[in-house]
Structure 1
Amino acid sequence: MSGTNWMSSKSEFAQPPVDLRTDIPHSARVYDYLIGGKTNYAPDRAAGDASALAYPSLPISMKQTRIFMHRVTRYLAREHGIRQFLDIGTGIPTQPNLHEVAQEAAPEARVVYVDNDPIVLTHARHLMTSTSEGRTEYIDADIRNVDSILGAQQLHEVLDLKQPVALSLIAIMHFVLDEDDPQGIVRRLMSELAPGSFLALTIFTGDSNPEGVAGVGREYNERGIPLQIRDKAETERFFEGLDLIDPGITLVHHWRPDERDASEGVRDADVSMYGGVALKRD
């Protein structure tokens, strides 16, 4: 990067005390633990250990999903000239974050992060660094309340929705249950974006390892983390009305692998996430 730029003042992050409920597992902290992070507590580690016992490849799958995000971001910035990214379901900051990948390819890239997890909010400043040419911002909002995202002042200060935007929904939609109309949420978000925008999305699936993934679903749900597993047909519904980019919907380690990947030797049974990227033409 050519430099860093803190886009928000300290007062903007002056938040009332937040109860992080460290006595119960949290999806963001379980993920952080399983990919080797340090922002987690005993209940998170217990949930992660139980899930990995049911499906030992879960940490591999999670890491491959993050590599997919990196690869997609580079691809959209370099091959399609995308300079605006809306990342919902950001999670605990883990380098490189999306804006770091995007701004490595295009220093002027602008990124808005969205999450509603209290633990992520406490770390939001790590998402607020930017090249001097670009900009980043963080919105504390729930994906199930689309109006709170689309109506946020920070969104419109950073992104011009009349120009193409990449909507990044990585490892988030399995926490949106069918009763909350996840496909409808995606359609609503994409409807507000200009032609030439892209959707990058992953879906947690049991197609590649039914027994192991079912065990993960059981462990999460029994610990109070609602999670829904979906098959390929259900995944395809998220992309209706959009033009899928080759190779279409595939397990994430098969999506345009490149020389920067760490996926050599990864088996399909090790990966439980479908991924796809699609273009909005009009």
Structure 2
Amino acid sequence: MYDYFLGGNTNYEVDRSAGDEVIRHFPAVRTVARVNRAFVHRSARFLAGTLGARQFLDVGTGIPTAPNLHEVAQEAAPECRVTYADNDPLVLVYADNLLRGTAEGATAYVEADVRDPDRLLEIVRSQGCVDLDRPVALSLNAVLHFVPGDEAYAIVRTLVSALAAGSYLTLSHCTPDFDPAGWAAITDIYTKAGTPLEVRSRDDVLAFFDGLELVDPGLVVAHRWRPEPASGPSLISDKDASLYAAVGFKP
């Protein structure tokens, strides 16, 4: 459905049908997808180009949609090493598109589920593309709203605790704050389609960053996070974005 909202062609009739139902209740959902995608690019570029991150772990990768995170990071710093992780077998089919990086850097894909963070970390360590004993920029973009309840917070604690000091957490998360009725309908559609969804308030999203130092401008609606010219939707309302985003630093 995310690929469909982005205008991609790697989706199926069932995705398009459910996606059209979401659009009927919340026409701006395509904007939400584009806002998220633009934040992924801006945050990766900022981490690699300004903050000096050289290792990235992107969890919940989804179907590759160019430019991918490694392309953005390696454009800023060709030596960046990037590991993608996802539990969707379809992503594995398209993983070749994730493995074309610079000669100076490295890219890898592992099949792992964010809901089993200990196993995910074990697989990442054994694969060896990124070294968890050195700082890593962990990306959890548009994934935790698919983990209902307190389990999502436990996942983040497990993953962040495994990272070396000097690491970063990048996170985006859908919110009902600006249109509760619209997002209640969307949650129902996703759940009936077999994908439980829990969108969270600003305070609830902020709690994912407990123990971390927020990088300026902190937790904001995603299109307001370090906007750049031509880097995605910008002249839109917070309601149309409906997505919080932030980068946190692990001291």
Match of 2:54 in 1: 83
Inter-partner Cα distance in structure 2 for 1:262 and 1:189: 29
Q: Which amino acid in 1 is paired with 2:131?
A: D
Check 1:156–1:140 CA distance in 2 against 1; reply closer, same or farther (3 A cut): closer
Q: Structure 2 unaligned runs (5+)? A: none
Offset of 1:153 from its aligned partner? 5.6
Q: Which amino acid in 2 is paired with 1:272?
A: S
Offset of 1:162 from its aligned partner? 2.1
Inter-partner Cα distance in structure 2 for 1:128 and 1:71: 21
> Is contact 1:33–1:45 with CA below 8 Å preserved after alignment?
yes
SS at match of 2:97: helix
> Is contact 2:221–2:242 with CA below 8 Å preserved after alignment?
yes
SS at match of 2:229: coil
SS at match of 2:128: helix
SS at match of 1:138: strand
Structure 1 residues 96-153: Cα deviation after superposition (integer angstroms, max 9, x where no partner): 0000000000011000000001111111111111100000000101011112211116
Inter-partner Cα distance in structure 1 for 2:42 and 2:179: 24
Indicate whether 1:228 and 2:198 are aligned.
yes
Inter-partner Cα distance in structure 1 for 2:25 and 2:117: 34
Match of 1:113 in 2: 84
Residue from 199, 202, 208 that aligns with 2:169: 199
Q: Which amino acid in 1 is paired with 2:30?
A: P
Inter-partner Cα distance in structure 1 for 2:125 and 2:78: 20
Q: Mark the structure with the bigger radius of gyration.
A: 1
Match of 1:147 in 2: 118
Inter-partner Cα distance in structure 2 for 1:156 and 1:38: 30
> Is contact 1:137–1:154 with CA below 8 Å preserved after alignment?
no
Match of 1:57 in 2: 28
Match of 2:182 in 1: 212
Inter-partner Cα distance in structure 1 for 2:193 and 2:123: 32
> Is contact 1:208–1:271 with CA below 8 Å preserved after alignment?
no
Match of 2:39 in 1: 68
SS at match of 1:216: helix
Normalising by the residue count of structure 1, what TM-score does the alignment of the two structures yield? 0.86
> Is contact 1:127–1:137 with CA below 8 Å preserved after alignment?
yes
Residue from 131, 137, 153 that aligns with 1:160: 131
Offset of 1:229 from its aligned partner? 1.2
> Is contact 1:54–1:215 with CA below 8 Å preserved after alignment?
yes
Runs of 4+ aligned residues of structure 1 deviating over 3 Å after TM superposition are 153-156
> Is contact 1:205–1:274 with CA below 8 Å preserved after alignment?
yes
Check 1:249–1:207 CA distance in 2 against 1; reply closer, same or farther (3 A cut): same
Offset of 1:263 from its aligned partner? 2.2
The root-mean-square deviation of aligned C-alpha atoms, in Å, is 1.2
Q: Structure 1 unaligned runs (5+)? A: 1-29
> Is contact 1:168–1:200 with CA below 8 Å preserved after alignment?
yes
After TM superposition, list the pairs within 5 Å mapping 1:162-177 onto structure 2: 162-177=133-148
SS at match of 1:87: strand
The percent of aligned pairs where both chains have the same amino acid is 47
Normalising by the residue count of structure 2, what TM-score does the alignment of the two structures yield? 0.97
Offset of 1:246 from its aligned partner? 1.3
Offset of 1:178 from its aligned partner? 1.0
Match of 1:15 in 2: none
> Is contact 1:213–1:272 with CA below 8 Å preserved after alignment?
no
Indicate whether 1:34 and 2:5 are aligned.
yes
Residue from 223, 234, 237 that aligns with 1:264: 234
Match of 1:18 in 2: none
